[in-house]
Amino acid sequence: MLFPISNFLYALAAGGLALFGFNALVLTWRYYATHAQIVAPPAPEHWPTVTVQLPVFNERAVVERVIDAAAGLHYAAGRLSIQVLDDSTDDTSSLARARVAHHRAHGVDIVHHHRAQRPGHKAAALAEGLQLTDAEFVAVFDADFVPAQDFLQRVIPHFFDAQVAAVQTRWAHLNAEQSWLTRAQALALDGHFVVEQAARSRSALFFNFNGSGGVWRSAAIADAGGWQADTIAEDLDLSYRAQLRGWQLRYLPQVECGAEVPYSLAGFKRQQFRWAKGSVQCLRKHARAVAADGGSLWRKLQAGLHLAGYLSHPLLLVLLLASLPLALAGGYSGIALGVLGVAGFGPPVLCAAAQRALSARPWRRLAIFPALLLLQVGMQANNTRGVLEGLLGRNPRMFLRTPKSGAVGRQFSGGTPYALPLDWTTWAEIGLGAYALFAAAVAAQRAPGMLPFLLLLASGNLYTAACGLAEAWRQHRAASPPRSARWAGISAPDGTQP
């Protein structure tokens, strides 16, 4: 009885993963098939009013930088205002107030709004800020972003079409060379922003505003129902609501907006958890509306794959758990692994296309792909948790922030007041890695064809767990006083005696 069930689950998971892998190849094909240079429209005769919104929560390392960048934007005199939407509970607020006062003294139209309580998190902060402005457009930059001075001058002309609700720009990476982890994240994000977003946009498919580094038409936000806090992916949610209302989104790959990627593995896992949970919440919220939309079946299928992208992680987990019973039974039956193997080329081909477009030496950047592959495999427990919480409606409004270091262009020591502790997913990764190793040992004797994939699953989980443990040890060392200080009775950083 166990073998037929395992065989079915294995085939189901393999088929689902193959679908996502093939779609990566399809999007890469669409990227090349629809390749066209976007011609910038002429500057408007009268520049519209714009409010720049800077949502901030406990970002002492980067808050002054983003305020300075916003204050330095070049735009028509008297047509630009800035809101610092500050929900912080630490000294970030005093830093932000001082920087706002500095720029106000120099003639910048900038205000600081602080909420003592933050119900609705970022979505509610943006919504409250929108009530305080009558600007025609709002630009949104998270605390770790650094827009170029000509950002608005390059983006606003693309709203000449009255049906354009939002314009998203391509994220660049301020700290891509900081570590192996930041290089791996940059490689994955480049695949999304260079290939996936461009292919979806140019093919008239549903795609999304990415939460930062873009501009919205205020009227479109209101028409789509405003910022809503019933998911933790308010950007994806508003994007789909606007498009379902007939609005268009535009993507500008030629306009960069610099940002930091998470400097720590714990921060990256938290970000991935939030994105996984939020996207599945949006899948639940919009699945029926997308199915009822008047667009083509192809457009609906692509929307489904877009919203369901993080389901690949629980599918990979099911594949792993079903492997041991199959190996004990002597292998799988009726599963075309050759098809799965071809689909597996989807992500690396997509990443290669992105780096070919961005760099004169793409192979140098692609050298980090093996680490990215192991890291993605090792996200099974973390991201499956996010998917399950999204599907089950657990903690629907719990928003976990991703801490930033501000350590651009240099190695980061790990000492930070925002350091995140190990969570239970690290121990789950160790358990899954051990399970995969045991299944691999069985497969070596009874089903050798399963061995390479099981070794990959074991390596990914154990590699991610080892990196997490090493990071936690470095943070512990950075937070501890030197041995000489401990012997001298000097207080530890938290004020206690060692």
Which residues are identified as catalytic?
Answer: 87, 235
Measured between alpha carbons, how far is 210 from 168 in angstroms, rounded to an integer? 7
Q: Which helix (H) or strand (E) holds 27?
A: helix 2-33
Measured between alpha carbons, how far is 302 from 28 in angstroms, rounded to an integer? 13
Measured between alpha carbons, how far is 23 from 58 in angstroms, rounded to an integer? 38
Given a contact cutoff of 8 angstroms between Cβ atoms, the answer to whether 19 and 305 are in contact is yes
Q: Residue 74 burial by CB count (10 A; 0-12/13-18/19+): exposed, middle or buried?
A: exposed
Residues in Cβ contact with 221 at an 8 Å cutoff, skipping those fewer than 6 apart: 130, 138, 165, 227, 238, 242
Amino acid found at 366: L
Given a contact cutoff of 8 angstroms between Cβ atoms, the answer to whether 105 and 75 are in contact is no
Measured between alpha carbons, how far is 70 from 122 in angstroms, rounded to an integer? 18
Q: DSSP state, 72? A: T
Q: Which helix (H) or strand (E) holds 166?
A: strand 164-173
